Amino acid sequence: MPELLTSLDIVNQSFKKSLRGYDTAEVDEFLDNVAEALQAYNKKNKELEQELAAKQESLAEYDRMKDVLHEALLMAQKSADDRVKSAREQANKILEDARAEAEAMRRDTAEEVKRLRAGVEQIRNIRDMYAQEFRGMLAKFDNQLTQSINASQLRGAVEAVLEDAPKDEAESPAESQNQPEGQEQKNSRKDLEAAYGLLGVNPEDLIGKQD
């Protein structure tokens, strides 16, 4: 690769003179113009190099900022992911706790309903038992009352028959047995015996109780 010329090299460049050669003044003028142009190009090149260096520095700064932003973005993304994960875990925990609490409430409610039903059934059984005992007591009391009323009526009937029966203090027992009964007395005695038979009562026991 040939050595690069500078504007000073062009200005100081000299040529040998020969017959029928170029005009020396024109050559010198051209070389001066070339030197000026080259100097301007060099200046512009340096400016461009400086600008390029500045751009590269800015680009490097941008790269550093990009790395920082990328790192910040990664951290923000990680933080967001962590927050989302934490929020999701917290939501799942709340949901699990709510489900567990609901299940516990359901079990407690079922146990309470079962206990109440058992209590109601026990109360019904006690009610039925007392109702049955009460009905038995009423039936027994009604039977006793009926027997008492019937016994009282029988006593009244016996007393009425005994009062209406003819009495003769002068007659002996043998004569009383041999004396024929009147038709009305026979009918009264038959009615009384029929009443005794229907009620299943021994008239002698009843008379004994009356005495």
CA dihedral over 140, 146, 149, 153, signed as positive or negative: negative
Please tell me what DSSP assigns to residue 182.
P
Q: What does the pLDDT read at residue 161?
A: 59
- Directed axis angle between helix 24-164 and helix 203-210, to 10°? 90
Q: What does the pLDDT read at residue 147?
A: 75
Whether 17 and 24 have beta carbons less than 8 Å apart is answered as yes
Q: What does the pLDDT read at residue 199?
A: 54
Residue 15's pLDDT band (cuts 50, 70, 90): low
pLDDT in tens, 28-54: 787 788 888 888 888 888 999 999 999
In the chain, what are the domain boundaries?
A: 7-13+22-118
pLDDT in tens, 187-209: 656 665 665 555 555 555 555 54
Whether 185 and 166 have beta carbons less than 8 Å apart is answered as yes
